[in-house]
Each structure stands twice: as structure tokens, then as C-alpha cells.
Chain A
């Protein structure tokens, strides 16, 4: 009891350096727990990049590759899926809805996706969020386009403006489909997913802009005008991939199996959750590196604590001798310094969490808008509690070092004050 109040008074006497130490620890704890929270949230949100979709179907490739080009719009499909096969599977009694995905065209560096109205109805991202229009509505007409948030922002497009969509990839496509301009009818709110960088049109529109093309070469002479295009049958012959929503989750595996064994062409159906988890584990190294760095920051914080405690120890050697002459036991002196370290660490953790919560509260909208991460001010998770406990334990262990020296001094100095 006496030692406890002495420890507190002694700390109060060194309030300045103690406050700095607490701040150092607070910042490292804030970083550690903050990184952990963002990491967890990023993983959850990544795993839900696509939610509500039960299967993704494409030509037979690796599951990661199919996921990458269908959901993340990274890379290209080596093979397409026949429109007939798509219609056949879409008509399966267990299938509730399907979203066709036609990729391969671009507009000034942004991908163009051919899809239908179900995309806006059924696509779910980041923990079950719907696509929301910041202005306008889904496309209805053949030559209407919906823009992702970033596309609209970077290209400065407004509702009603016209856009020219090119065949192929890249900004500098040497021939552009400039004869069939599209009108902007909708702009999506930011999702922090690849959708932000995408232009969406109907599958028929994709077909229309390719009418006068064959094998990637523009046919000379007979260019088809927009009006003529409307007259033709614009049902696509192929599509890149499609998403499937089922009436009942129970049938996921049986449908997956029958698609994988589809006879007319080699198809592959993947479970988005499984594929996303696999993809995340590929990126796990970066995630681990982030965590390792924040653990290193905690250690540097504790090293600061150790420096301060050891630095003050020489001066406190007198204090140790005085307390010893008054009857204090060596272990009491050990616990005096260890308690101090424990208290500073605890205060640091509490302050760090307070700073973190303040930071989250302030930056919440930014995280949601730019990274699609929904950070909440909530009680620490079990994992975070473990981290906090480990920090506390490390703080106490750190305190044992000056504590042990105090113990040694108390025995070696005898009844003299050594300076």
C-alpha cells in the first residue's frame, strides 16, 4: 500500500517525462490496434467484395483467374462462354437470377462491362451493400451507359453527356467506335470496388458496337450506323462470364457440379467466397508485413519506456537506498519499478485506444468512401483484447529490467547512498 502511493507520487513528480512515455506507447498501441482493425475489416470487406452471388460461371480456367477477370476486371478471359449455354443454365429451375458479364472493351482507359438490369438489382458488395445511384438510373435504351463513380469524376462526365466507346483495351485504341455515341443516364455512388472504374452498358450494346468488326478488324466499306444497328438482332453470341443467384443455397454444390460437367462446352462454376478467400491468402504476405511493422512500432514504444525508466534509475538509486533503510524489501523495490512500467503501459493503451476511436470517428466517412471500409467505433474484438494484453505483458516484462536493477542495487548498496 505504502509502495503504491509512493509509486504514484514519484510518477507525478516526473509527470513530464511520464506523459511523453505514455504518449509514445499510446501512438504505438493506436497503430497496432488500428492496423489490426483495418486489416480485419479489409479482409471482411474483401471476402464480401461480391456477396449474394452463389456461383460465377466462365470458361474453364483457374478459379482465381476467373474471379480476377470477372469481378476485379483484371486480365482477360482466354475463352468465352456461348450465349446458348448461358441461356440454358439461366433457365435451370434452381436459378433465381443471372447477371451476364461481357468484358473486353474500354473507354479512355476504363473498362466497359456489358450486363443487364439485374446487375443493379442483385449485385452486392462490401457486406451486403447494394449498388446505389448517386444520380440517374439504370440504362434502358441500347445506347445508354451507366458510369462508375471514378469514371465520372475523372472524365468529368455529367448526366446526359455523350461518350464514345472503343473496341479493345487502352486509351489509345487506334480505331474508335465513334459512330455510335452513348448517352450517360446514370452515375453510381462510390463502392471502393472495381465497379468505380467501370462503364456499364447492355449486352446488346456490346454486340452493336462490334457489328462492323470481324476478328478484331474493322470491315472496310460497310459501316453500320446506329440507326441500322437498332434494326438488327443484337443478341450476343458469347459472353465472358455470368453470375448466378440461386433460389436456395442448398443447391449450390449440385448446380456447381452439373455446370462443371456441362457437355456442350468446358465450363467452370466457382463459389465466390471460396475463391475470394483463396485470393486473399495470396495477398496475406502484405497483410502480415503490415502487422509486423505495427508490432515493431510497439516494441520501439516499449524501448522508449525502458530508456526512460533506466535513465531515471541512476537518480533513483538514492531513493532506493532511502526506502531500503526504512525497511522496504528488495522485491518491493522491484515491484515499484515494474508497477510504474505497467501503469505507464496501461495509461498508454487507454490513451491509444481513445486516440484510435477519435481517429476512426473522424475518418469514418473517408474510409467508407475511398476504401469501402466500414470502420466502427466498437469495443475491442477478442483479437484486439489479446493484442492489448500482450502489450501490457510486454510492458510489465520491460519494467522487470529496471526492476531487477533496483533489486540488485538494493542488495549491493547496503546502507550507503551511492551516486
Chain B
């Protein structure tokens, strides 16, 4: 049996010693599962994503992605792991302004040969796959693909970011409030498109938002409480 996508075991994290921002006793997310992470501002949602991405390591406890313990990897290996297995969508400003839409979507393949190979295993070229993803996310006009990213609407930019996160079929997609700048209609459309495509690829999704209205679209919701005091056991 495949190992779960995400396993957390008595995880604790503090940016500064003594002041924990995050405490998660136990969490297991299956592959292909879609998890909604909800919590108030400052509850440590973004911090959790940094831990998942391997940019920081837990102060206490364990975090395993795809069976791989993050602490056991060195900094370089964690960067490599992130490049190979994770797709990230930010709240805003996801795209490099000096690249075209298409070039932005192709970016992950520059940083990960694993993802490049995965694309080439099922598509005839990297560009074909990028175009396919853009079309799946309803960015269908070819004219749009070559555009400067600054000429896109916010909603379009977020969909390009989603296409980039999906490029090369990473096992896990993490999204940090990607819909907070969108109106309700485009928000729903964005989430639907993203989840649809992830379902198609069997991708695990970790979607962070303070917006509880989105929760029903996900398999499960994790509510992060603001940690007040370090727990004394």
C-alpha cells in the first residue's frame, strides 16, 4: 500500500524559541484527498505550508510527505523534494512579471527534471502540456498565452498559477489563500477548476483559507486554533 501523502505526528513549530505558533498532534492525509485548512489570521496556516514545503523544519515532532521524513533531508534535498513533488499557489503575485504566461507555466520543468520527464512521458512536448493545462483552466485563447502577465486579470493570473502548480503532475498541491482577492463567483469557479484537475491527476490538495464558505467543496477540514501558550506536558 502507498504511504499517505501527508503524515504529521506531534508537530510543534516556533519561529522564535519558546513561542509556538503551531501544534498539531496528529494528521494523516491520503493521496488524492482534498484538505481544507481553516484558521484565524496568525493561527499558523502559512507556517504549516512552509513546513510542508521544507523551507523550515519542525521544532518538535515529525512531518512526512509521501513517506519521506522532512527532517531527515538536508536543506538541499528538501529544496529538491519541493521542486519535484510540490505545486504551490500563493495568495497574489504568483507569476514572474518578465516571463510570458506560457513561460511561467513551464517554470517547474526548469527546476525539476522529475517533473519534466513526467510531462514528456505523456505529452509530446512541454509546451503541449502547458497549453493543455491552460485550456483546462479555461484560458483558451492562444493570444493569452504569449501575453505579459501584467495584462491579465487577477482571476486569470490565479488560474495561470494553478496551471503552473499542476505542471509536471506533482503529488501534492498547496495553496495559500489563492482566492482571497477574487469575488465570490470567480472564487468558486477557480476552486472548482483546480479541484477538478487535481481529481483528474489524483493530486492531494491542501487548501488554506479563512473563508469557511469553501469548506464543503473539500473532503475534510482541519481547523487550526491560535496557540496561546506552549503546552506543558
On A, residues with C-beta under 8 Å from B are 1-2, 6, 9-10, 12-14, 318-319, 321-330, 411, 414-417, 419
Contacts and interface: CB of A to CB of B under 8 A. Distances in A.
A212 B181 CA distance: 106
A10 B52 CA distance: 29
Given A414-B47, A414-B56, A415-B55, A328 B92 contact: no
A417 B108 contact: no
Contact of A414 (B55, B76, B94): B55
Given A414-B56, A415-B55, A417-B90, A322 B96 contact: yes
B79 A327 contact: yes
Task: List 8 tightest A-B contacts by C-beta distance, closest first.
Answer: A327-B83, A13-B98, A414-B50, A2-B110, A325-B88, A327-B111, A415-B50, A318-B93
Given A2-B110, A325-B90, A415 B84 contact: no
B94 A12 contact: no
B58 interface: no
B91 interface: yes
B99 interface: yes
B107 A326 contact: yes
A1 B108 CA distance: 13
A416 B84 contact: no
Contacts of B59: none
Contacts of A318: 93
Interface of B: 46-47, 49-50, 52-53, 55-56, 75-76, 79-80, 82-84, 86, 88, 90-99, 107-108, 110-112, 174, 176
Contacts of B97: 13, 319
B53 A328 contact: no
9 contacts: A9-B98, A10-B96, A13-B98, A327-B84, A327-B111, A329-B76, A415-B50, A415-B174, A419-B93
A413 B80 CA distance: 18
Nearest to A321: B90
B53 A325 contact: yes
B64 to A, nearest CB: 18
Given A325-B53, A325-B88, A416 B46 contact: yes
Contact of B83 (A1, A9, A326, A330): A326
A322 B94 contact: yes
A328 B84 CA distance: 11
B98 A2 contact: no
Contacts of B50: 414-416
Contacts of A329: 75-76, 79
A383 to B, nearest CB: 39
Nearest to B94: A322
Contacts of B86: 325
B94 A327 contact: no
